[in-house]
Amino acid sequence: MTALPPCYPANSRLDEHGDLIVGGCSVTELCREFGTPVYIVDEQGARERARDYRAAFESRHPDSEVIFASKAFPCTAIYRLFAEEGLSCDVATRGELFLALAGGVDPARIHVHGNAKDDADVAAAVEAGVGCVVIDSFDDIDRLERLVPDRQRVLLRVNPEVQADTHESVLTGHSTSKFGLRRALALRAIERLRASDRLELIGLHTHVGSQILEVEPLTMAVDALADLGDFPVYDLGGGLGIPYRSTDTAPSLDAYADALVSAVHRGLGTDVRVLVEPGRSLIGTSGVTAYHVVSVKRDVVVHVAVNGGMGDNLEVSLYGTEFEARVLARRDATERCQVVGKHCESGDVLVRDAELPSPVIGDVLVTPATGAYCYTLANNYNAQPRPPVVSCREGDARLVVRRETYDDLLRRDVPAAAVPTA
């Protein structure tokens, strides 16, 4: 068995034939059983990562809490898994709230986000009895004041005006961001919230963005909260980046927790509750996607086309994420390839530059680090059914989301009215 770099699931190895084993299951066998494309999750790896996250923070600051940012992988099996590991969860929409409740998450441990919560969103959150609503605007305050029957705990999202080095679409804490309130406005909101008899302001929230590969912007956001008053709770968001390729590096959990907790102790005090909301760095590397190669075209570029693409992985076209690929159980000399999908546009590229062992039709091709923001961004472009999710643990493979069918694609169509015959 050969160990793999950190962009692969913690419980994955290559066997002596070059097959990938995830959670004790052969990916080649999984592809036979469940078809391709298929999202494969190393369940034990995700559980271990949740425990590592808790340990990293609790060992440095006992009064801390890890919240699963569920937008990264919103399916009931994953909500349940992280709830079983003692994590809270955040939701950004009523749909995510619905899934979290269906996944058995204790409403008291749900944090509700959103920069555009409408009355129905707020009413659903209040009715579910969520633990905390994160106020993003003065309109949120008005709505909650109107719709909360009794009392609701809230955090106020502060825009820290910190620019991190990541794709602009996933930056959220820069000065022109649509999220949260800049400090001058935050002070006014704090005043209003402190005067409210329905809303109990327990603390401040901030989030700089996603796939951040340096800890400095994350600690700068902590510093930005320091002179806004004293609060018992601080939610420092998520954002820690992950390695997508064997050559990538990302800060370790220990380095991240060290930096964040030190910044809290320095600027916010030691007697506060610290919350963090990881998504990508909690589940990203516990997932891989497996495809079959369906066509190889050798010309100026070697195009290796697989039976998925931007329908199951939008990260590449939305954020320019650079993945790597591996063809399983092949030892031929390698060639430089571009891995492309089956969708009708040239942007449908999965891996721009991959050294692969002379791929042929029928090969199983795997892209690692697809555990975050792939399932959730999956779509039906070109009427392509979305892939299933298979959770693997100690050699046991469990189908937790089935493959979409062609009938599913008709599910929302309203049949045309019967044309009356003369």
Which CB sits closer to ligand PLP, 315 or 363? 315
Quick check: 37 binds ligand PLP (CB under 6 A)? no
Locate 42 and state its tokens: 């190393």
Which CB sits closer to ligand PLP, 97 or 356? 97
What is the separation of C-alpha 186 from the centre of its chain, rounded to a whole number of angstroms?
A: 27
Quick check: 280 binds ligand PLP (CB under 6 A)? yes
Quick check: 207 binds ligand PLP (CB under 6 A)? yes
CA distance 60 to 57: 5
CA distance 388 to 40: 9
Minimum Å distance from CB 257 to ligand PLP? 14
CA distance 286 to 306: 22
Query: Going by C-beta distance under 8 Å and a sequence separation of 6 or more, which residues neighbour residue 420?
Result: none
Minimum Å distance from CB 242 to ligand PLP? 9
Site for ligand PLP (CB under 6 A): which residue of 38, 72, 122, 349? 72
Which CB sits closer to ligand PLP, 28 or 93? 93
Quick check: 281 binds ligand PLP (CB under 6 A)? yes
Minimum Å distance from CB 77 to ligand PLP? 18
Q: Which residues pair with 235 in a beta bridge?
A: 205, 275
Find the part of the chain contacting ligand PLP (CB under 6 A) among 7-15, 194-202, 231-239, 403-411. Answer: 231-239
Locate 38 and state its tokens: 């298929």
Locate 89 and state its tokens: 């969860």
Which CB sits closer to ligand PLP, 217 or 238? 238
| 175, 168 contact by CB (below 8 A) | no
What is the separation of C-alpha 212 from the centre of its chain, rounded to a whole number of angstroms?
A: 13
Query: Going by C-beta distance under 8 Å and a sequence separation of 6 or more, which residues neighbour residue 337?
Result: 301, 302, 303, 304, 325, 351, 354, 355, 356, 359
CA distance 232 to 289: 42
Quick check: 314 binds ligand PLP (CB under 6 A)? no
Q: Contacts with ligand PLP: how many residues (CB under 6 A)?
A: 16
Query: Going by C-beta distance under 8 Å and a sequence separation of 6 or more, which residues neighbour residue 277?
Result: 67, 68, 69, 90, 111, 207, 235, 236, 237, 238
Site for ligand PLP (CB under 6 A): which residue of 42, 43, 277, 312? 277
Quick check: 111 binds ligand PLP (CB under 6 A)? no
Minimum Å distance from CB 219 to ligand PLP? 15
Find the part of the chain contacting ligand PLP (CB under 6 A) among 77-85, 98-106, 234-242, 353-361. Answer: 234-242
Q: Which residues pair with 389 in a beta bridge?
A: 39, 401
Quick check: 210 binds ligand PLP (CB under 6 A)? yes
Minimum Å distance from CB 209 to ligand PLP? 7
CA distance 121 to 124: 5
Site for ligand PLP (CB under 6 A): which residue of 45, 74, 173, 237? 237
Q: Is 374 in the active site?
A: no
Listed residue (253, 232, 233) closest to 243, CA to CA: 253
Quick check: 69 binds ligand PLP (CB under 6 A)? yes
Which CB sits closer to ligand PLP, 281 or 285? 281
Site for ligand PLP (CB under 6 A): which residue of 113, 117, 143, 342? 113
Minimum Å distance from CB 88 to ligand PLP? 12
Locate 132 and state its tokens: 């905390």
Which CB sits closer to ligand PLP, 71 or 94? 71
Which strand (E) or helix (H) includes residue 239?
none
Site for ligand PLP (CB under 6 A): which residue of 36, 64, 152, 172? 172
CA distance 41 to 22: 8
Quick check: 251 binds ligand PLP (CB under 6 A)? no
In the complex, the residues that contact ligand PLP under the rule CB under 6 A are 69, 71-72, 113, 172, 207, 210, 237-240, 277-281
| Residues assigned a catalytic role | 344
